[in-house]
């Protein structure tokens, strides 16, 4: 993206780009049919459960002024607005932990001032929101988001791991609380006696670990050996909500022999309870706030604005990583502008504002990638099967598949995708040559259609607005379902927090490098045997370790800052600080080529380009339940960022990519990524240990191959 | 084995055979040095923990007449005698669940008779033991064990699964008991109040699942990626006792906030407590037993004799399965004779007798196979490394390794093992041809010595007496360590029972066929991709399923019988009945060739043959901690019974193998088994889907390959 700060240019570009595909966003989503419910439910749960927990936390910290009803309302309302009017529909909005920390700080401040007090807290917050919105407008209009690509992988992944640590901390804290008497509870009641508290805590351990382990297992259901295909698909798609249901049911098993209140369950007022409405009319109190506080509100507002600017943009960036091969343009500037309006709205009706959330936003994209993969795959398999029943030759089969595949693609990527299909041809030739001639009829027992097609399919994301809209509506529906939600044990929520933290570790290169450091030297060759990121072959191990240790120390410092009572809200500044650190300090310690590889995928942004609307979305109707999506599961969680940038850093900075070229860059990485290791091998891809790649990993070889790659 | 029933012939053969290698049994064990402690500790725990639990069960069921002190004493004493005087030192002796059931029945009978009563129970049991010994002597002398090979795999594996079910049942029952007030306890004490019972039960769930999951993980430590080699080896070898220690420590964490007695711990008198000695002098009461009961004692004695005959022989058989490539002869007849003497001894000192136990005996052999593998491997790797530092060519390297390997082998298997080395040559040629000439110096970065050697090493077992002797002594030592053992929570024992049940499932073909039935048809090709048993390729799926369902129903019926109050002790008869069922009924429903494959590995027994004493055992001193034994871990647990029998069923039954021929048969399977799938591929091993073996599994292909194999 160009770093020009001409007012309104970024917003204009965003609007133009997204306007081109707005209609397709809806049509594509609707065409996917019922299948869209899988990613929708997945994201709904990932979105609603933390929001409910944060609501509970807020209720505790604000003496009941704000509750889960308000956090749910904010998430639903902002999500609804964003899914309809927003730029990037892959971005998921919600009330996040930093907002909760911020509001707690503001409440404590208001409570301590006699001329504000808890009664004027919401009115004062409204002023803070107004100020925040002003800053956000300024940032959006002046194009501040155009420097978002200076937040390289190092910043995004560090922030991702920090969020994971906060989630894990919340899980552990929650479990410890299960052994203690909660605040504001009556310690005389039966369930808080030492004996029952011990039982409650132990039961909480069982429930939370039960949920964590089963949920992690269920996500891998597609690669299970047992059970029929549709069952495995169903469990993989809906496993997490199913497990919440299951463990909630388990929590009722000892109900007859324990006092009410064991295990502890979610507590929140129903939206129709008296007092749950007070916040909506806050606007009439706003002028009661003393003028000094109205002006002073700009101080917390700057912090919130910085936080939202970073959080919203990075969440959006992580949802649009290069490896997802997105086709539609991004919309950073316009989304920030819209966020400003939503912050005002939330402020005026007295609910905490929402912003783009991690890890839900990248989870959303991943789940849509699986969906798109399944749709594409079903179509190609059907084509191939019909060829086989017609007793076509291998050559004919190849032609038909190629045709079918190209029909579903945008014209822009034709030359790329057909490269993927050449692989299919090669592998089929290899198969047939061992038995028969190329023109003989194919037998499905010999040619495993599904496997071959899985091997060549690229990662593609079903980009649309329907899943985001539906999940927002479902979050809104949660408010009505509050009595039902209140049956969920808090310990199950703890397990869910831990699940969220762990689920998002694979694919994070920072995390994978930490693991690499702990990998025994004799086992490092195993990393090479799998699909792996480029830096493993091009950067010496000691440099990888040094870089990772630096990043880890930085992470621990950032995490430590969140523990400081009030200054803790400044922790986003640590992430901001990474931009100059990356640009000016790190190059003094690491070679440019190494940094290039360790901090790859600069999230090339694409200016608006003509978007062909007669593309995808034509397949939704033919889609049925898939047999198997595990290959993709592996690809999207394991092999992120495997692509070496096609363009050198120089060309990238000197010639800002425009139009077709930019789009080509975004999609050019496609064929390199999608080959299975087997095919890579056959193509003679560079591997320092020959075909098997089984040699022990040694820095010497890495350097050698580094040279040969010219890095 | 010849089915001749000439009196004493079997015993004489056994004695001759084992006498030849008796000295080597000791020397070989001592030469292994400290390394022998790994299998010893492993088996000690596998042996002692159930014996302690059974002791607790007996104490409950015999009103404290027999306790863990007696079961430990019996296990230690019989183990000691067997390891020194016994025939097959791989066999592990211990007090088993059937013995406990039997003694409980006898105690209830004695208690119900006024002229016996609990006071004469032990004296009467002594008479039962005498009778049992008489029957065992008869069976041993008349050569009853020579029909042991009619107990084919179907009987052995069914019994193995039945024992696993009994273990699992004990684990579940134990966990449920943690929620209830135990019998003979004072229900008024604090820890039995409902609230604390709930907490205790939940804590028990945490401890037992914690132990189960961590113990299962720790056994796979060799293939972990993280941590240094020696640490992974240490965890894999001693992980289970470490985990028992760990979870016992965890059980003390809440000690300050819970009443004493939570969690419940092992209860047993110390051997030096008053009353623990009463049983030793039972011999003086024996003549007080009314004559009618002395004669009547032969009724339970027949049942125990049948049980011991079967249990002892099958445990011995499972410890000597064909795939372990044992070199030393078996000793069924003599061991049964010795068991008779031990039963008399135990009877006279008033302790329950021990017999050969499952699954500890096969576990013992497996752990020794790992040990032997490590010793061999270290020697070969050292040889290869010294060649590389001397800059030898690939050809020279091959010659040196071949020489080193043959030095460690018995002369009998020379021609076999060198076939394995030819593979090494081929794979090295393949490697070198891609880069340099055969005579160029080798570089270790190119030729991964350790991996290549792992690929060619056969499974071999360190057959010796030291591990058995040491573990018996350690079990004896347990009696002194009773105060320490009493800190182990009963729930940790439950977890250990579950671990024992699960740990022994892989490798059981019956279990693997059950899994195969539940495998989705689209995933069956995965079974073919791994190393797999022959029947998968030769028997149509429907026939596999039918056979497995029959076996499952039989298993459930057998398990059901153990629930019947008194007739339950007859359950071994169900296993006995399998002999005629297999011989006369199953052939009516299944083709002979199919049965042959499904029920493969008929445990060819080898009559005594001249045994060269100048064999193995010369390597122990050079052994150091290994880097890696995971390949073997995989081989011995996963690929059992992969060998197709070399001789056809006809030759097997008509010409009883003798002398060298028999030994050849036992060892001839060796080279076929040890190739890694990669090497098998390169050799062009039969695989219905070409090189990759990735095609979907179809019965049609299976039939086809069945025909081509002439089966």
Question: Considering only alpha carbons, which residue of chain A is nearest residue B518?
Answer: A226
Query: How much of chain B exceeds pLDDT 70, in percent?
Result: 70
Touching check for A256 and chain B: CB below 8 Å?
Answer: no
Handedness of CA B127, B132, B134, B137 (dihedral sign): negative
Q: Which residues fall within 8 angstroms of residue A331, CB to CB, at 6 or more apart? A: A14, A15, A17, A18, A86, A87, A88, A316
pLDDT exceeds 90 at position A126: yes
Beta A93-94 vs A355-356: how paired, if at all? antiparallel
Q: Which of A267-271, B155-159, B258-262, B621-625 has the lowest mean pLDDT?
A: B621-625
> Higher confidence at residue A675 or residue A104?
A104
User: Which residue among A254, A258, A520 places its CB closest to the CB of B228?
Assistant: A520
Touching check for B451 and chain A: CB below 8 Å?
Answer: yes
What pLDDT does B621 receive? 34
> Higher confidence at residue B44 or residue A575?
B44
What pLDDT does B677 receive? 37
Instruction: Compute the distance between CA of residue A95 and CA of residue A153 in angstroms, rounded to an integer.
Output: 24
Handedness of CA A542, A544, A550, A552 (dihedral sign): negative
| pLDDT tens, position by position, A386-433 | 776 776 666 676 677 767 766 665 433 333 444 445 555 555 555 555
Give the mean model confidence (pLDDT) for residues B33-49.
86
Touching check for A523 and chain B: CB below 8 Å?
Answer: yes
> Higher confidence at residue A449 or residue B370?
B370
Residue A520 C-alpha, separation from nearest chain B C-alpha, in angstroms: 5
What pLDDT does A663 receive? 36
Q: Which of A126-130, B276-280, B480-484, B678-682 has the lowest mean pLDDT?
A: B678-682
Instruction: Compute the distance between CA of residue A55 and CA of residue A73 in angstroms, rounded to an integer.
Output: 11
Query: In Å, what is the CA distance from B168 to each residue of B212, B383, B509?
Result: 12, 46, 19
What pLDDT does B685 receive? 34
> Higher confidence at residue B90 or residue B153?
B90
B17: helix, strand or coil: helix
Q: Using CA atoms in the order A588, A593, A597, A603, what is the torsion angle rounded to 10 degrees?
A: 80
* Range among A125-134, B183-192, B317-326, B650-659 with highest mean pLDDT value: A125-134
Q: Which of B195-199, B458-462, B686-690 has the lowest mean pLDDT?
A: B686-690
What pLDDT does B629 receive? 39
Instruction: Compute the distance between CA of residue B267 and CA of residue B260 in angstroms, rounded to an integer.
Output: 13
Give the mean model confidence (pLDDT) for residues B105-123.
88
What pLDDT does B568 receive? 63
What pLDDT does A618 receive? 36
Instruction: Compute the distance between CA of residue B295 and CA of residue B127 in angstroms, rounded to an integer.
Output: 9
Give the mean model confidence (pLDDT) for residues B462-466.
88
Question: Considering only alpha carbons, which residue of chain B is nearest residue A514?
Answer: B226
pLDDT exceeds 90 at position A470: yes
Instruction: Compute the distance between CA of residue B51 and CA of residue B475 in angstroms, rounded to an integer.
Output: 9
CB atoms within 10 A of CB B3: 12
pLDDT exceeds 80 at position B193: yes
From the centroid of its chain, how far is CA B304? 22
Give the mean model confidence (pLDDT) for residues A650-669.
35
Touching check for B256 and chain A: CB below 8 Å?
Answer: no
| pLDDT tens, position by position, B560-583 | 887 876 666 667 678 778 888 888
Mean pLDDT (chain A) is 74
> Higher confidence at residue A533 or residue B210?
B210
Give the mean model confidence (pLDDT) for residues A18-24.
90
What pLDDT does A526 receive? 67
What pLDDT does B353 receive? 95
When pLDDT is cut at 50, 70 and 90, the band that residue B591 belongs to is confident
Query: How much of chain A exceeds pLDDT 90, in percent?
Result: 20
Give the mean model confidence (pLDDT) for residues B22-51.
86
What pLDDT does B597 receive? 77
Give the mean model confidence (pLDDT) for residues B595-599.
78
What pLDDT does A306 receive? 85
Instruction: Compute the distance between CA of residue B304 and CA of residue B102 in angstroms, rounded to an integer.
Output: 8
Question: Considering only alpha carbons, which residue of chain A is nearest residue B226?
Answer: A519
Q: What Rg, from alpha-carbon coordinates, does chain B have?
A: 26
Q: Using CA atoms in the order B207, B209, B215, B216, what is the torsion angle rounded to 10 degrees?
A: 180
pLDDT exceeds 50 at position A92: yes
Q: Which of A466-480, A503-517, A529-543, B190-204 has the lowest mean pLDDT?
A: A529-543
User: Which residue among B195, B205, B226 places its CB closest to the CB of A519?
Assistant: B226
What pLDDT does B187 receive? 79
Pull the structure tokens for residue B4: 């001749």
- This prediction's pTM: 0.72
Q: Which of A548-562, B200-214, B458-472 has the lowest mean pLDDT?
A: B458-472
Mean pLDDT (chain B) is 74
What pLDDT does A638 receive? 33
> Higher confidence at residue B26 or residue A230?
B26
When pLDDT is cut at 50, 70 and 90, the band that residue B342 belongs to is very high
Give the mean model confidence (pLDDT) for residues A88-113.
89
User: Which residue among B258, B446, B695 places its CB closest to the CB of A695?
Assistant: B446
Contacts of A514 in chain B (CB under 8 A): none
What pLDDT does A155 receive? 82
What pLDDT does B687 receive? 35
User: Which residue among B205, B258, B525 places its CB closest to the CB of A206?
Assistant: B205
Question: Considering only alpha carbons, which residue of chain A is nearest residue B192?
Answer: A195
pLDDT exceeds 90 at position A42: no
Residue B219 C-alpha, separation from nearest chain A C-alpha, in angstroms: 18
Q: Give counts: helices (H), strands (E), chain A.
A: 32, 2
What pLDDT does A302 receive? 87
């Amino acid at each position: 993206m160009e770093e020009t700060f001409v007012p309104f240019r970024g917003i204009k570009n965003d609007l133009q780009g997204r306007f081109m595909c707005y209609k397709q966003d809806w049509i594509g989503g609707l065409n996917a049919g019922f299948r869209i419910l899988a990613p929708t439910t997945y994201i709904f749960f990932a979105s609603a459960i933390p929001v409910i927990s944060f609501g509970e936390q807020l209720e505790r910290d604000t003496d009941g002024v704000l509750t889960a009803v308000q956090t749910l309302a904010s998430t639903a309302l902002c999500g609804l607005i964003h899914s309809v009017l927003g730029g990037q529909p892959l971005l998921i909005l919600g009330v996040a932990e930093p907002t909760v920390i911020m509001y707690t700080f503001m409440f404590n401040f208001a409570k301590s001032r006699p001329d504000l007090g808890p009664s004027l807290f919401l009115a004062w917050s409204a002023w803070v929101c107004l100020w925040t919105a002003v800053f956000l407008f300024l940032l959006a209009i002046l194009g501040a988001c155009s420097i978002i690509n200076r937040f390289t992988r190092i910043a995004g992944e560090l922030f991702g791991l920090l969020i994971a640590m906060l989630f894990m901390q919340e899980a552990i804290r929650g479990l410890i609380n299960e052994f203690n008497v909660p605040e504001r509870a009556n310690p005389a009641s039966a369930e808080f006696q030492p004996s029952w508290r011990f039982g409650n805590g132990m039961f909480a351990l069982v429930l939370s670990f039960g949920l964590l382990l089963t949920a992690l297992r269920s996500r891998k259901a597609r690669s299970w050996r047992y059970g029929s295909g549709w069952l495995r698909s169903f469990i993989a798609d809906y496993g997490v909500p199913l497990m919440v249901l299951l463990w909630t049911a388990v929590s009722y098993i000892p109900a007859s022999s324990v006092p009410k209140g064991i295990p502890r369950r979610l507590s929140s007022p129903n939206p129709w309870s008296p007092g749950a409405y007070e916040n909506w009319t806050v606007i009439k109190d706003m002028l009661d706030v003393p003028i000094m506080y109205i002006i002073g509100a700009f101080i917390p507002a700057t912090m919130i604005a910085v936080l939202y600017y970073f959080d919203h943009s990075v969440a959006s960036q992580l949802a649009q990583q290069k490896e997802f091969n997105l086709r539609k343009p991004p919309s950073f500037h316009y989304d920030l502008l819209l966020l400003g309006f939503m912050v005002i709205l939330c402020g005026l009706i007295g609910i905490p504002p929402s912003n783009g959330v991690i890890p839900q936003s990248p989870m959303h994209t991943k789940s849509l990638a699986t969906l798109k993969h399944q749709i594409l795959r079903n179509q190609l398999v059907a084509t191939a099967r019909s060829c086989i029943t017609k007793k076509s030759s291998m050559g004919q089969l190849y032609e038909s598949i190629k045709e079918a595949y190209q029909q579903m693609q945008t014209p822009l990527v034709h030359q790329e995708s057909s490269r993927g299909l050449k692989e299919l041809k090669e592998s089929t030739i290899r198969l047939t040559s061992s038995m028969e001639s190329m023109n003989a009829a194919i037998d499905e027992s010999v040619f495993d259609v599904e496997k071959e097609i899985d091997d060549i399919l690229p990662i593609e994301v079903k980009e649309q607005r329907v899943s985001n809209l539906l999940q927002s509506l479902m979050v809104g529906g949660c408010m009505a379902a509050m009595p039902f939600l209140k049956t969920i044990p808090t310990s199950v929520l703890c397990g869910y927090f831990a699940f969220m933290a762990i689920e998002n570790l694979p694919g994070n290169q920072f995390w994978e490098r930490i693991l690499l450091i702990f990998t025994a030297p004799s086992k490092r060759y195993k990393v090479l045997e799998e699909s792996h990121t480029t830096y493993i072959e091009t950067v010496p191990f000691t440099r990888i370790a040094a870089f990772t240790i630096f990043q880890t120390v930085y992470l621990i410092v950032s995490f430590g800052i969140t523990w400081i009572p009030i200054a803790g809200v400044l922790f986003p500044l640590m992430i901001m600080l990474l931009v100059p650190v990356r640009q000016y300090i790190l190059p003094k310690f690491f070679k440019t080529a190494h940094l290039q590889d360790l901090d790859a995928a600069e999230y090339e942004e694409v200016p608006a380009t003509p978007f062909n609307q007669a593309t995808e979305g034509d397949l939704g109707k033919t889609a049925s339940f898939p047999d198997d999506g595990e290959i993709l599961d592996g690809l999207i969680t394991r092999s992120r960022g495997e692509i070496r940038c096609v363009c050198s850093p120089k060309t990238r900075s000197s010639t800002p990519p425009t139009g077709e070229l930019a789009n080509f860059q975004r999609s050019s990485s496609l064929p390199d990524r999608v080959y299975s290791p087997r095919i890579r091998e056959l193509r003679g891809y560079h591997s320092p240990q020959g075909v098997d790649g089984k040699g022990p990993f040694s820095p010497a070889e890495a350097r050698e191959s580094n040279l040969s790659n010219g890095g």
